[in-house]
Chains A and B, each alone.
Chain A
Amino acid sequence: MAKKELQVSAIENGTVIDHIPSKCVFDVMNILEVKKLDNAVTIGYNLSSEKLGRKAVIKIWDKFLENEEINKISLIAPMAKINIIKDYDVVEKKTVEVPQAVEGIVKCMNPKCITNHENIKTKFTVVGKDPIVLKCLYCDKLTDQENMEMI
């Protein structure tokens, strides 16, 4: 079967993060600190997807994600697929995995939590994985996926 034309052109070496729900792509870019990168980055936004309807793709030249970065992505886009590209070929596929603990990425949804009033690094334990539910180490309140806000 002939290869379909790519909506975002291929990269030679680096990482492709695919199947990101469109609305999450800016959060994913924040997590990866794309702003600070010198690497070439191409982003596809609102691409058509059979699974998601609209999806986003991020392709980063010459960058290979740390496990911690992948874990962070899992919080906002658990269905994302990560492909490692070498010489235009996919050499490794990674699925994202939800970590046991989450520090400093997510805001506690409890407005009366001390972390929302002082400059404190948030800390959560993951008490539910599908959907993701986080328990704040400070106020003990739960933050669910629907209300999850990135810092």
Chain B
Amino acid sequence: MNTGSIVSIEDLSKEQIMEILEIAREFEKNPNQRLLEGKVAASLFFEPSTRTRLSFETAINRLGGRIVGFTDASTSSVTKGETLKDTIKMVDNYADLIVMRHPLEGAARYASEVAKVPVLNAGDGANQHPSQTMLDLYSIYKTQGTLENLSICMIGDLKYGRTVHSLVQAMSHFHPTFHFISPESLSMPESYKIFLKKLNIPFYEHKDLDSIINEADILYMTRVQKERFADPLEYEKVKNVYILKKSMLEGTKDNMRILHPLPRVNEISIDVDDSPKAYYFEQAKNGVYAREAMICRALGLK
């Protein structure tokens, strides 16, 4: 097994997270640094994810590295029945780094055991997606100037949303206060509430956003997906409760910023986009810097 792999946000200590954020800040000032000159990165997407793949591949390109790989399992030897182990063993011989997206949970951890080169998890099923979490953290850090003592509101699907789970874990290092706003059927899983209780981190659950929006430093919006509801009527009832409109931003803190992992459907009204508090498009841009930083840390280059 190798040591540079980043499989889960839980693998990183508070200090390591801060280190990566500081490196990301350097990359934002100067994104084109040819630190990967002469190196080959494998980009293995066993399921399509355009956003994540383009962000990682942009990061690798800006670092001057070359990319081999595939964008979809149907164009790889997986269709011939090759095991993940064999695919990783083969790629391990070719590349200096593996970026991997896989539909099965735990696939990235397994790959990091099989490979000698570092593995960066670009999402394994509903499990972990640490580069998303790093870009969320970087966005919070950049807009607030700190990660400490912030009031974080999470809205939408808190049950299945892996980005909110990882963000809860990562922010737990920094004395936050959490507010969870979701339909009852999509509320934060018990295991994360137990996790927060053990660490004495305050969290509050609310039925709607209005009561709490003025206290927030960060509004973390997520998509409420229709397919999560067994009863379509239930979806119709709740879908409009979790929509952010421009009028709701009156009275919110000046430093408050709205984040969303994207893609968005209708949970943020288009008229919010013009608000200086809307940060979701810049957030996506930060993904390149965060990923450049993660790649360099994985390879021990920074």
How many A-B residue pairs lie within 8 Å, measured between CB atoms? 47
Interface residues of A in 117-151 (CB under 8 A from B): 117-120, 136-142
Q: Which of B18-26, B106-114, B130-138 contacts A (4 or more CB under 8 A)?
A: B106-114
* Chain B window 126-156, contacts with chain A (Cβ cutoff 8 Å), 1 for yes, 0 for no: 1110000000000000000000000000000
Closest A residue, CB atoms, query B107: A114
The answer, yes or no, to whether B50 is at the interface (CB within 8 Å) is: no
The answer, yes or no, to whether B167 is at the interface (CB within 8 Å) is: no
B104 touches A137 (CB 8 A): no
A110 touches B105 (CB 8 A): yes
The answer, yes or no, to whether A115 is at the interface (CB within 8 Å) is: yes
Q: How far is the CA of A115 from the CA of B105 in the complex (A)?
A: 9
Closest A residue, CB atoms, query B8: A140
A142 touches B191 (CB 8 A): yes
Which of A117, A119, A139 makes the CB contact (< 8 A) with B127? A139
What residues of B have a CB within 8 angstroms of the CB of A139 in the complex? 105-106, 124-125, 127
When A113-B105, A113-B106, A118-B110 are in contact, do A140 and B85 touch as well, CB less than 8 Å?
no
A118 touches B125 (CB 8 A): no
What residues of B have a CB within 8 angstroms of the CB of A136 in the complex? 106
The answer, yes or no, to whether B249 is at the interface (CB within 8 Å) is: no
A118 touches B83 (CB 8 A): yes
Interface residues of A in 11-44 (CB under 8 A from B): none
Interface size on A, residues (CB 8 A): 16
A138 touches B106 (CB 8 A): yes
* Chain A window 89-114, contacts with chain B (Cβ cutoff 8 Å), 1 for yes, 0 for no: 00000000000000000000010111
The answer, yes or no, to whether B84 is at the interface (CB within 8 Å) is: yes
What residues of B have a CB within 8 angstroms of the CB of A113 in the complex? 104-106
Q: How far is the CA of A119 from the CA of B203 in the complex (A)?
A: 41
What residues of B have a CB within 8 angstroms of the CB of A115 in the complex? 106, 110
B105 touches A120 (CB 8 A): no
Which of B84, B110, B127 makes the CB contact (< 8 A) with A140? B127
Q: Closest CB-CB distance, A117 to chain B, in whole Å?
A: 6
B105 touches A138 (CB 8 A): yes
Closest B residue, CB atoms, query A120: B110
What residues of A have a CB within 8 angstroms of the CB of B8 in the complex? 140
Closest A residue, CB atoms, query B103: A112
What residues of A have a CB within 8 angstroms of the CB of B104 in the complex? 112-114, 117
B105 touches A114 (CB 8 A): yes
Q: How far is the CA of A118 from the CA of B110 in the complex (A)?
A: 10
What residues of A have a CB within 8 angstroms of the CB of B110 in the complex? 114-115, 118, 120, 138
Q: How far is the CA of A92 from the CA of B144 in the complex (A)?
A: 64
Q: How far is the CA of A19 from the CA of B106 in the complex (A)?
A: 37
What residues of A have a CB within 8 angstroms of the CB of B85 in the complex? 118
B128 touches A140 (CB 8 A): yes
Q: Closest CB-CB distance, A142 to chain B, in whole Å?
A: 7
Q: How far is the CA of A114 from the CA of B83 in the complex (A)?
A: 11
Interface residues of A in 67-97 (CB under 8 A from B): none
Which of A112, A118, A137, A141 makes the CB contact (< 8 A) with B109? A137
Q: Closest CB-CB distance, B16 to chain A, in whole Å?
A: 19
Q: Which of A117, A138, A141 is the most central at the interface, judged by chain B CB atoms within 10 Å of its CB?
A: A138
Q: Closest CB-CB distance, B124 to chain A, in whole Å?
A: 8
Q: Closest CB-CB distance, B279 to chain A, in whole Å?
A: 29
Q: Closest CB-CB distance, B159 to chain A, in whole Å?
A: 14
Q: Closest CB-CB distance, B161 to chain A, in whole Å?
A: 15
6 sampled A-B residue pairs with Cβ under 8 A: A110-B105, A114-B106, A114-B107, A115-B106, A137-B106, A141-B105
B residues at A contact (CB < 8 Å): 8, 83-85, 102-107, 109-110, 124-128, 191
Enumerate the 5 nearest inter-chain pairs by beta-carbon distance, A residue then B residue, closest first: A138-B106, A139-B105, A139-B106, A114-B106, A114-B104
Given contacts A112-B103, A114-B106, A139-B127, 9 further A-B contacts (CB under 8 A): A112-B126, A113-B105, A114-B102, A114-B109, A117-B104, A118-B84, A138-B110, A139-B106, A139-B125
